[in-house]
Chains A and B, each alone.
Chain A
Amino acid sequence: MSAQDLTESRLDPNLAVVDEICAAGEPWAKLVKKGHILRIVDLEGNQAVDTLFFNAARSVERYSATDTIRRQNRLYLTTGSKLYSNLSNVMLTIVADTCGRHDTLGGACAAESNTVRYALDTYPMHSCRDSFLHALAHDPVCEQLGLTKRDLPSNINFFMNVPVTEAGGLEFVDGVSAPGKYVEMRAEMDVVVLISNCPQLNNPCNGYNPTPIRLLVWNPTAA
């Protein structure tokens, strides 16, 4: 991941149509129209942002980790990566990235998997799946699509570093991200983005200290 792989954006935050903060451990959902640009900012560094995308017109079409991986022959995401749906369509394209690597394999933490990964008594700890399910129960954008647990496939973890070795090892390691790093993507169809700002305290994916993120959306034809 050399510096020349990083691509900065020229978009001006003052012209964004959405500019919101998602607090540590909370979900965030939004409709992002085709052609609009979504930026996720890791405000304080080393914050995993668990993210799913759904076709806003037909939610049975959703982000697919396996299609995204195998169609590009790549495990990690960065500028130029396309985010494919389960129906073979490009949902979004990453157009800027100052972090350099984002994860497709780590999935979301859940109360149940926490008991397996860390200790049986971690069940009450807050988790990404709880945030996703909270959003599905409360957020009007999710409600309109009629989403349930059944609609939660493998997600992207922006800013998370899960290196895979040629010998087949896989570890969660300290992030490659840092305060102010961001990733930006252009929607290629109307999408609903569903985020869990990860509350995991048991591994280094959030530097053991979950922090807020900033979310901006631009309409390039208006900006």
Chain B
Amino acid sequence: MEQQHTHIWEERIPGGCHWSGIVRRGTTLRLTDVEGGANAAVLFYNQEEKLERYNMADTLKSQHTFRLTKGHAFHSDMGRIFCCMTADTIGWHDTVCGMSDAGLIQQQYGVARYQEHRNQMFRSGLDGMLIELGKWGLGVRDVVSNVNFFSKVTATATGKLVFHIGNSKAGDYVDLSFEMDTLMVLSAAPHPLDPADTYRPGPVSLAASTTLPMAAEACARIAENMRGLHNTRRLYACGRGAA
């Protein structure tokens, strides 16, 4: 019994470009790797109090996981949950490798300035993130360990990292069901460990829809997420209709 999502808006972010916006609680955002091989570096902030932000360590240790996939929640540094991953056709998303910066892009791909290349210029993950953060009064101090949707990095027993090429295929997607009013910031430049020698980051599409009832149940098999959701609902509780 397929329930109907109510479509709200959509946006296409060309490879290498960046985006930010408020995603309201009760909204599910689908991130799609349109052509395959995309990377979406993402950070989450509480829209009301942006000092509250995504916390890589709390997300990993609360769920006893290194990889992120369906059933995992994205935890804030204040014991709350921004969103739950309620669908995932890929199975592994990285959150420990950070973003490419201008130095890495130049070293790996060379230089392509706006003057010669217009909007095909090479952009770095960090620079895109900082531009978007600047729109909200945020900056370098607010950059913390981010999520890299669509990218898989495993670790050997000694802690050596291995980047998996082709982890995500054209049309692969994740659904994020938001539990908080969230400032989401996204930069679609190459993953810092992507060994490709040509600069060809893939586009990412965003599609927002209303969250289906009980969607958060996907994350509720983890007791820590239940407590995180409890804390989150308290933030929005009021005299009438308290959660």
Set B67, B79, B140: member contacting A116, Cβ < 8 A: B79
Q: Give min CB distance, B70 to chain A, whole Å.
A: 13
Size category of the binding interface on chain B? 35 or more
A66 at interface by CB-CB < 8 Å: yes
- Shortest Cβ distance from residue A185 to the other chain B in the assembled complex, whole angstroms: 18
Which B residues, 140 to 160, have Cβ-Cβ distances below 8 Å to chain A? 140-146, 154-160
Known: A67-B98, A69-B97, A110-B77. A153 touches B58 (CB 8 A): no
* 1/0 contact string of A78-112 vs chain B (CB within 8 Å): 00000000101000000000000100111110111
CB < 8 Å neighbour of B61 from A66, A75, A107, A120: A107
Bound complex: CA of A202 vs CA of B77, how far in Å?
Answer: 18
With A73-B160, A75-B155, A154-B145 in contact, do A168 and B65 touch (Cβ < 8 Å)? yes
For residue A166, CB closer than 8 A to chain B, the reply is yes
* A112:B78 contact, CB within 8 angstroms: yes
Q: Tell me whether B66 and A170 are in contact (CB under 8 A).
A: yes
Give the docked Cα–Cα distance between A207 and B162 (Å).
32
Query: What is the bound-complex CA distance between A116 and B60, given in angstroms?
Result: 12
CB within 8 Å of A: which of B53-70?
55-58, 60-62, 64-67
| B131 close to A (CB within 8 Å) | no
CB <8 Å contact, B146 and A66: yes
A113 x B65 contact (CB < 8 A):
no
Q: Which residues of A contact B161 (CB under 8 A)?
A: 69-70, 73-75
Q: Taking the complex as formed, is A201 at the interface, i.e. its CB lies under 8 A from any CB of chain B?
A: no
Report A66 CB to chain B, min CB distance, Å. 3
* Cβ–Cβ contact A88 & B55, under 8 A: no
Chain A residue at smallest Cβ distance from B152: A168
Q: Interface residue count for A (Cβ, 8 Å)?
A: 44
Asked whether A165 is an interface residue with its Cβ less than 8 Å from the other chain, the reply is yes
Inter-subunit contact A66/B62 (CB<8 Å): no
Identify the closest chain A residue to B146 (Cβ).
Answer: A66
Q: Is B101 engaged at the interface, CB distance under 8 Å to the other chain? A: yes
Taken residue by residue from 221 to 238, chain B's Cβ proximity to chain A (1 for < 8 Å, 0 otherwise) reads as: 000100110110000000
The answer on a CB contact under 8 Å between A164 and B155 is yes
Instruction: Give bound CA distance, A133 to B180, whole Å.
Output: 25
* Cα-based distance from A4 to B241 in the complex (angstroms): 63
Question: A105–B57 contact, CB under 8 A?
Answer: yes
Contact A113 B77 (CB under 8 A): yes
Inter-subunit contact B99/A106 (CB<8 Å): no
Nearest Cβ on chain A to B84's Cβ, whole angstroms: 14
Q: How far is the CB of A165 from chain B (nearest CB, A)?
A: 7
Q: Is A168 a contact partner of B61 (Cβ separation < 8 A)?
A: no
B77 partner residues in chain A, CB cutoff 8 A? 110, 112-113
Q: Is the CB of A150 within 8 A of B142?
A: yes
Asked if A149 is at the interface (CB within 8 A of a chain B CB), the reply is yes
Which of A64, A69, A73, A117 touches B224 (beta carbons < 8 Å)?
A117
Q: Known contacts being A66-B146, A106-B61, A113-B77, is A164 close to B66, with CB within 8 Å? A: yes
Judge whether A151 is part of the interface by a CB distance below 8 angstroms. yes
**Complex CA–CA separation, A154 to B97 (angstroms):** 12
Per a CB cutoff under 8 Å, which of A76, A104, A112, A150 touches B231?
A112
9 contacts between A and B (CB under 8 A): A65-B98, A69-B97, A70-B161, A75-B96, A86-B140, A107-B61, A108-B57, A117-B224, A168-B92
**Residues in A lying within 8 Å of B, measured CB to CB:** 60, 64-67, 69-70, 73-76, 86, 88, 101, 104-108, 110-117, 119-120, 149-151, 153-154, 162-166, 168-172
